[in-house]
Structure 1
């Protein structure tokens, strides 16, 4: 198998927010033009037809609050007399930070669409700064064809997996596009420096003047819903390409979706699907020709289908091998943590090994505490009597929610230190 494809390993796309679980916070409704705390500057919000003739809308969300948020942006376009709206569930955004977005409308028929001002709601959330910095030195270069190359550095003390860099592309007097690093970056170690490159859409290449608002993130996923066997099938993907118009065939076993890669370089795609039976075996074609891919399963029990995407390509992707019907409700706590719980209760694993599973729940915000001290693993601690409620949970005498509430309370009170 191609070495580039082999480098795409199983990953949890929701490194901050699990697919099946929203953040445990209140939703705050914020009219876009009424307040200045979370907003999209209208001079950084525009629509254009890309090199494939697809109407594309780009913008930049700014958070001026003193707390983190997860923004949800509604983008609407009037196509003749019809209004088409799409929702972007964006990545967590820290206080005083900004993050660009891009969305495409391949279904538009008019040559003169009208872009409506965006609407924003957000969830208050605990966020952590991503310790990735753009190196503003002579290595940051805008080239004659409009693309930019540069370097990033991990200034933190932990490995960062699957980082991505966004930026706003400017002309002389206006914003032209939103772009991202074209390379798939699996990880960046503490202190490590890696090169990146960004390409604007070929339709606006000649007008590029400069890049700004570089925004590093460690998770960028796009949610999609397709009708399947008389219900909704929710899945997600992460890619340097864009996918739309997802639909299943009448049997509910084959998913087709249109893909567009406007960039002149190869990129990647990684689809995440909830399991139906857990025994699915997928196959993938592009324009009815088989392509190489990797199928894997992540720590949350979700399937991943990953493959390379050719430069300046477009076509219909078909993924077959889905079981009929809709996925069952996924447990909030992964089964492997429940297995660990049984091993811990029966003294087959150590306290620290069990606490690694609980730490995973906090990392994925399955359970949340406003502030948690960052401590070394050698200082982790859990009283032996916590085995009692853990045993009740393993024996299903209490629910996942009950157990999560117990763990959250014990961590808040620093009875469990992790």
Structure 2
């Protein structure tokens, strides 16, 4: 089902074979509602009477904004696939436009080889982590591709200006006329599912490169996945895995040669395996060190937030440290209040009597859902400001 207020313009929706021969579908979701949404796009391709479908849930999309998307179909083997019109659904959410602005000045340059470089600026009051910039690539009369910045940007501070570079697929470089629909987002990831020890293992990655055909070995401890970077500059890859034991120690090879990588764990308890991807490279990536079996269901609320509640309830940390955890839950949309107005940390406030339910929560006298409902109610009534 699709809605007139949220749609994919068909003149910006097309399929093509990229420079490595993989069938690629690109499009652009527009949100003309006066509220934010999370769009889910299903793209289908018919090949030899068989329908191949892929679904992505995109990042939250603020009111009056748009976001391009790109999906790869390495399964397509014929030269005559038929692209079906996209299916689009959405759910309402709470988010503000990402306060990143493209600087339309002399630094925004389309180069002779078709790539573009420019600068972005954080025009807001908060640090933006892992920003990305998407754009639609046009030929003289039609859309050619969707592209993104290839640099890994860890963060951009308020007022800060950073450079970015975008390269289209090499198969379309000679036909590029201009770029449009520059869309900043605070992050986006690509979901992947692979069979592991008799079940589905879901994981995600964020990268300027593309990866496909993920497969685990019989023991479920080593995963292979094919990747390629068509850009003439190095980019990055960051894989996110749910822990099984929490004691995993990974190793990474590309075409059976060890590569340098960083293993870390994020605030939600997920493992990250990140590394640099060399220019115009391709091959089989192998990540070893997974525990056997499938991940247990992770708690909705990270353990550190609940631990902070106990420390705050027993007056071991100040209000600000406890409210950092509450603010984190809003950022991750674990908490949601329709009328919440984001304020600076210096304006945060919380009454001390909230320490009582915070202590009950840590002692499991009330459930996660009950405590989160209490916090949402108090934030909506502006008794808590965060």
Once residues 234 and 337 of structure 1 are traced to their aligned partners in structure 2, the CA distance between those partners, rounded to angstroms, is 25
Once residues 107 and 88 of structure 1 are traced to their aligned partners in structure 2, the CA distance between those partners, rounded to angstroms, is 17
Match for residue 369 of structure 2 among 401, 405, 410: 401
Shift in Å, 1:370: 0.7
Q: CA RMSD in A?
A: 1.2
The residue number in structure 2 matching 1:363 is 331
Match for residue 156 of structure 2 among 158, 167, 188: 188
Per-residue deviation, residues 269-314 of structure 1 (Å, max 9, x unmatched)? 0011111110000001111111110000111111000001111111
Per-residue deviation, residues 251-283 of structure 1 (Å, max 9, x unmatched)? 111111111211111100001111111000000
Distance 1:183 1:376, change over 3 A: closer
Correspondence 1:132-143 to 2 at 5 A: 132-143=100-111
Paired residue secondary structure (2:279): coil
Alignment TM-score, normalising by the size of structure 2? 0.97
Shift in Å, 1:95: 1.2
Once residues 403 and 409 of structure 1 are traced to their aligned partners in structure 2, the CA distance between those partners, rounded to angstroms, is 10
Matched, 1:350 2:318: yes
Paired residue secondary structure (1:138): coil
Shift in Å, 1:415: 2.2
Once residues 154 and 346 of structure 2 are traced to their aligned partners in structure 1, the CA distance between those partners, rounded to angstroms, is 28
The residue number in structure 1 matching 2:94 is 126
Matched, 1:325 2:293: yes
Per-residue deviation, residues 391-415 of structure 1 (Å, max 9, x unmatched)? 2211112221121111111211222
Once residues 202 and 97 of structure 2 are traced to their aligned partners in structure 1, the CA distance between those partners, rounded to angstroms, is 29
Shift in Å, 1:160: 1.5
Once residues 252 and 200 of structure 2 are traced to their aligned partners in structure 1, the CA distance between those partners, rounded to angstroms, is 22
Shift in Å, 1:352: 2.0
Matched, 1:114 2:82: yes
Paired residue secondary structure (2:286): strand
Once residues 226 and 370 of structure 2 are traced to their aligned partners in structure 1, the CA distance between those partners, rounded to angstroms, is 42
Once residues 370 and 217 of structure 2 are traced to their aligned partners in structure 1, the CA distance between those partners, rounded to angstroms, is 40
Unpaired segments of 5 or more residues in structure 2?
none
Correspondence 1:262-411 to 2 at 5 A: 262-411=230-379
The residue number in structure 2 matching 1:43 is 11
Matched, 1:201 2:169: yes
Shift in Å, 1:47: 0.6
The residue number in structure 2 matching 1:8 is none
User: Runs in 1 of length 4+ with deviation above 4 angstroms?
Assistant: none
Aligned residues: 386
Shift in Å, 1:63: 0.9
Paired residue secondary structure (1:404): helix
Shift in Å, 1:70: 0.7
Unpaired segments of 5 or more residues in structure 1?
1-29
Paired residue secondary structure (1:311): coil
Alignment TM-score, normalising by the size of structure 1? 0.90
The residue number in structure 1 matching 2:133 is 165
Once residues 319 and 64 of structure 2 are traced to their aligned partners in structure 1, the CA distance between those partners, rounded to angstroms, is 39
Match for residue 238 of structure 1 among 206, 230, 242: 206
Correspondence 1:51-90 to 2 at 5 A: 51-90=19-58
The residue number in structure 2 matching 1:95 is 63
Match for residue 118 of structure 2 among 139, 145, 150: 150
Moved more, 385-394 or 162-171: 385-394
Matched, 1:260 2:234: no
Paired residue secondary structure (1:264): coil
